Each structure stands twice: as structure tokens, then as C-alpha cells.
Amino acid sequence: MIKIKNVYKTYNLGMKNQFLALNNISLDIKDNDMLAIIGASGSGKSTLIHLIACIDYFEKGDIFIDDINIGKISEKQRSEIRNKKIGIVFQDFALIEDASVYDNIELPLLLSGKHYSSKTKRKLITEALQNVGIEELIDKPVSQLSGGQKQRVAIARAIVNEPSVILADEPTGALDSKTSSEIINLFSMLHNQGKTIVLITHDMYVANCCERIVEIKDG
Ligand code: ADP
Ligand code: MG
């Protein structure tokens, strides 16, 4: 499903000052894989996730998602892949705090380019929330939720467009251990529903819940 071949990523830090963040990375991620990526802070984990998610660019190598070479397509096609095939979850939830749960999860539906009726949107958002077990919070402001509830909202937002891949960057990094294991159970459930899960973590308990662990060192 995702094929990463000899990828290099350099950050330009100003004149002649370059930092090689990914140094010839290759990795195959199969359909319905549940993969943990571990590695020290600064080793390049987030960078790799950003490249797969079409959030950032790389200068050398190839990344294929379902046989589409994402380094060789237009920005419009990249945003389509980001919106339709991939759901992303971050450590800090990346929600709009002042908005309601509904409004946050509606965003990917609005960006999808499809024209949903209000009724259909409410149905899709309710289903996504049922999947993460918090449908009763649909009209609450995000600012009133606990950390675990916020991460559930972020996961609902990641799945509402029914992507085949979920990328999660330290999704339990801001949560206590009990809430972490609840969130990991959700990822396992999504995996059992057929999704491909790629999960960055520092926590070996979380990594061991995955089917496969890869470690990245110094890019
Ligand atoms: P990890 O997620 O494993 O902690 P990152 O992928 O965030 O690591 O970062 C890898 C390396 O690239 C680090 O040394 C970091 O300082 C550097 N880096 C990350 N993002 C940028 C950026 N936007 N500009 C310059 N350097 C960056
Ligand atoms: Mg990181």
C-alpha cells in the first residue's frame, strides 16, 4: 500500500546550512498493517510521517501510495490523497478549541469537495463519534473535554472521510497510562476494521500493541 524507496529529506536552515533529516529511508507498509515507528527524539519520525501524509516535500527518492508516486503529482492531487486516503492524529490533538466537536469533525467533510446535506453530515459525524465511543459529546465545545476525549475527537476527525490509512504521531504522548491504553485499543479496533495504522511512539507498551516495530536512527 505504501512504498518508501531511498528517500532523503533535507531541511534548509539558511545559507549553506542544511540538515539531513532522512538519510536513504526505505520501508514497505502493507495493506492492513499495524506498524509502530520508534526512535530517539530528533531521529526523523515526524518528518517521515509528514512526507507520507503529503504535508511536506522530499528531494530524493520515491513514495508510492496505492501505486501513486506522491513526489511526482500536482499539489491538487496531493491534497486529494491527504483528504481521501489518509487520516492524521497528533500528540497535541490539533483541534480548534473554541469550536464544537461537530465543527471540528466537519472540517474534512468540507474539504472533501463533496456536497453533503446537513443531515448526511450529521449522520457521518455521529457514526465517526460512535466508532470512538463519544457520540454524546457531539455539540460540546472542545475546550470542555478531557485529554482522552479530545484525542477521541481527533481520531473521529481522522476517520470521518473513511481513509484507508491512519498516521498517528505520538498519539498517547500527552495522556496518562490508563487513557493511553484506551486510545491504543481504539487504534487496534480500527486495524481490525481493515485500516492500515502507522503509529509513532516512545512508549514500548504502545509499540508492543502493534504487529510490527521499526526503529529509525539518525534519519
Ligand atoms: P522526531 O519526530 O523523531 O523527534 P523530527 O522528524 O521532528 O524528529 O526531526 C528530525 C530532525 O530534523 C531534528 O533534528 C529536527 O531538529 C530537524 N527538523 C525537524 N523539522 C525541521 C524544520 N522545519 N526545519 C529544520 N529542521 C527541522
Ligand atoms: Mg516527532
Q: What is the pLDDT of residues 55-106, one digit of tens each?
A: 999 999 999 999 999 999 999 999 999 999 999 999 999 999 999 999 999 9
Residue nearest to atom 1 of ligand 1 (CA): 42
Ligand 2 center to 66 CA (angstroms): 25
Closest listed residue to residue 139, CA positions, set 98, 103, 94 = 103
Instruction: Please name the residue whose Cα sits nearest to atom 21 of ligand 1.
Output: 11
Q: How far apart are CA 124 and CA 216, in angstroms?
A: 37
Residue 15 has pLDDT above 80, yes or no: no
pTM of the predicted protein model: 0.95
66's grid cell: 496505492
CA of 193 to the centre of ligand 1 (A): 33
For residue 144, give the DSSP letter: G
How far away, in angstroms, is 169 Cα from ligand 2 center? 7
Q: Which residues surround ligand 2, an ion (CB under 5 A)?
A: 46
Task: Return the pLDDT at 14.
Answer: 80
Q: Which helix (H) or strand (E) segment is 65 a member of?
A: strand 60-65
For 164-198, write each residue's pLDDT tens digit: 999 999 999 999 999 999 999 999 999 999 999 99
Tell me the three state secondary structure of residue 66. Answer: coil
Instruction: Decide if pLDDT at 37 tops 90.
Output: yes
Q: Which of 47, 92, 201 to mutate to test the pocket of ligand 1 (most atoms within 8 A of CB)?
A: 47
- 104 vs 113: which has the higher pLDDT: 104
- Residue spans of alpha helices (H) in 177-217: 177-192, 204-207
CA 177 to centroid of ligand 2, rounded, Å: 19
- Which cell goes with 176? 496518562
* CA distances for 161 relative to 69, 71, 75, 127, 164, angstroms: 22, 23, 20, 11, 9
Q: What is the pLDDT of residue 93?
A: 95
Looking at residue 73, the DSSP 8-state letter turns out to be: S
The torsion defined by the Cα of 52, 56, 62 and 64, in degrees rounded to 10, comes to 30
